[in-house]
Amino acid sequence: MIKKQVGHVIKLFISKEEKSKISLDKYGVIKDKFYAKNQNRSVLIASQDSYNLALNSNIIIDSGSLGENILLNYNPYSLSIGSKLYIGEVILEITQHCTICNSLAKLNKDLPILLKNDRGIFSKIIQSGYIKVDDKVWIGDI
């Protein structure tokens, strides 16, 4: 197995509430409002780059506003479906990229178009466990 370290976890969220650690199982982020709803969309991962893109367009939003569970200092948006992310004890598999979400327009009317391809990615859990702030992020194949 070949893995490459690409970054680390900046912040973690359960239903927009910031946490220092989250627990994940095959159904998603435990205690999240989307837990056990759709395994292929059970974890939303975003990059600090999305917030910087908004800020560069004079749109100031707080971390967690994009609905992410995991905020990274690494931009995973170019990863292919099926790519694996290793974070803490957890292995995640990328399942799809986020689509435009009208709820972002509540924050700013320009945000859905601005972040069309940069809002985040969904993943499912391959291996359960804990993720903590500052955990390293690795990419690779099982």
Residues 25-79: pLDDT tens digits?
999 999 999 999 998 999 999 999 999 999 999 999 999 999 999 999 999 998 9
d(C-alpha 102, C-alpha 132), whole Å: 30
d(C-alpha 100, C-alpha 118), whole Å: 10
d(C-alpha 21, C-alpha 29), whole Å: 11
pTM over 0.85: yes
Q: Taking a C-beta distance cutoff of 8 angstroms, is the pair 108, 101 a contact?
A: no
Q: Which CATH number fits domain 3-140: 3.40.50.2000, 3.40.630.10, 3.40.50.300, 2.40.33.20?
A: 2.40.33.20
All structural domains of the chain with their residue ranges: 3-140
Task: Specify the amino acid at residue 38.
Answer: N
